[in-house]
Amino acid sequence: MATIKKEEYTIKNNEFEYLGKHYDCQFAIKRDIKMILQEAEISHKDTFGKLYDKNTLRPDKIRIFVDGDNTPIYGIIIYLIDYKDGNGSRYACGGYYRFEFDNSILLPHMYQESICW
């Protein structure tokens, strides 16, 4: 049975580094932000606009799942959004993405979509 481990890395300039290699998250971030805002506005339509500054939604870190050979299999980006009153922020998460093209690009996972708000 293969061992899968979970690790987290900071995202800067729409990318992160893992074992000296840079991974582009730009496509995933653009897609996630659209989906997170859409989900938040639907599921919390009475409070979302009052409580949160939607323009502050930004990627914070990525949680990646790697196999026993330290090869990334898939990841999920964790986002921050600020409260309008300036008293902190909260987390939201994007969908699951698989690593493709020599593992340098994240593409949507065919069977897992999980936007959490």
User: What are the tens digits of pLDDT across the range 24-36?
Assistant: 899 899 999 999 9
Residues 35-43, mean pLDDT to the nearest whole number:
90
Q: Write the CA distances from 73 to 23, 76, 94, 100, integer angstroms.
A: 13, 11, 16, 9
pLDDT for residue 105: 67
Residue 27 phi, psi (nearest 5)? -60, -45
pLDDT for residue 34: 93
DSSP 22-39: EEE-HHHHHHHHHHHHHH
Residue 79 phi, psi (nearest 5)? -115, 160
- Domain ranges in the chain are 5-108
